[in-house]
Amino acid sequence: MSSYHLCTGHESTVVSKMWSYKTSYRDRRLCGGWLPWKTCVVTLYKTAYWTEYMNVTEEVMRCCDGYEQVGSYCALPMNRRGEFTAKPGSCPKGVVDAPRNTGCEWDSDCPGWQKCCQREGLSFCTNPQHTGNRGCCFNVTVTVKTDYQQLISMDGGIMNHTRLLHSVVTGALDSPDISVYYISSWPIGPFRTASSMLIGSPETLSLSNMTTKLHLLLKHIEEVTSVSVEGKRIQYCTVGCKYTGFCSV
């Protein structure tokens, strides 16, 4: 499996081992000699077997608590999809002119930077409002070996794609202070899909350090073919400035 989100655990199993040994028994056989009908008691040997059962505890690598195995990777389970589909910002609190024909369930159902918001029993996509948090943001584009049309045609294909991206990116960065937001995906050729993500942190991070960590995906994840990182220190690490993800201080 991928080296991300793996933890060491112990697993006990019952193993069996078969042993063989010689056992003796007595039988009557013809003695031979001048009297062909005469029999004698002789000692013979045969092979017998017995099985030994033992409890064996082994150290194993498995997905850390809160993650589940998805193919060769450890990813968040589907019941936590709100975490890996969330986009930056929050739903507007004021009056929103909500369209009546754009139902959604998750932020990833909405185009661009829009979020899925609820109002008066309706779900709709709308532009979010920023939270006012200072920090660093990076626009990251990851390209993987998968066909986009096949991805969107499969039931839950984009959702599964999103959580795998979230898994490998958070695993490569390995920091509890990092927020990873999936934005969108698009085809860039046969069997290639590019995906845009926004990575935010309340602390000032080096662009070179972020790039170095994410470029490890090219080494550890066979399906990843390219990674590009752009970023700078911004005033609001959510949205704004026409929702480009970059704002002036």
pLDDT digits (tens, 9 = 90+) for 130-189: 766 566 788 999 999 999 999 999 988 999 999 999 999 999 998 888 889 998 999 998
pLDDT of residue 41: 94
Which one has a higher pLDDT value, 165 or 246? 165
pLDDT digits (tens, 9 = 90+) for 49-105: 999 999 999 898 999 999 999 988 999 999 999 899 998 888 888 766 656 556 788
Cβ neighbours of 99 (radius 10 Å): 11
pLDDT digits (tens, 9 = 90+) for 9-50: 888 999 999 999 999 999 999 988 888 889 999 999 999 999
Q: What size, in residues, is the chain?
A: 249
pLDDT of residue 232: 55
DSSP letter assigned to residue 108: G
Least confident among 2-6, 63-67, 216-220, 222-226:
2-6
pLDDT band of 244, cuts 50, 70, 90: very low
Cβ neighbours of 133 (radius 10 Å): 14
Tokens of 202: 């309340």
Separation between Cα atoms, residue 74 and residue 40, nearest integer Å: 72
The yes-or-no verdict on residue 115 having pLDDT over 50 is yes
pLDDT of residue 27: 94
Phi-psi label, residue 135: left if phi above 0, alpha if psi -120 to 50, beta otherwise: left
pLDDT of residue 240: 38
Domains in the chain (CATH in brackets) are: 1-65 (no CATH), 72-234 (3.30.70.960)
Backbone angles phi, psi at 220, to 5 degrees: -95, -25
The yes-or-no verdict on residue 246 having pLDDT over 50 is no
Q: Is the pTM of this model over 0.85?
A: no
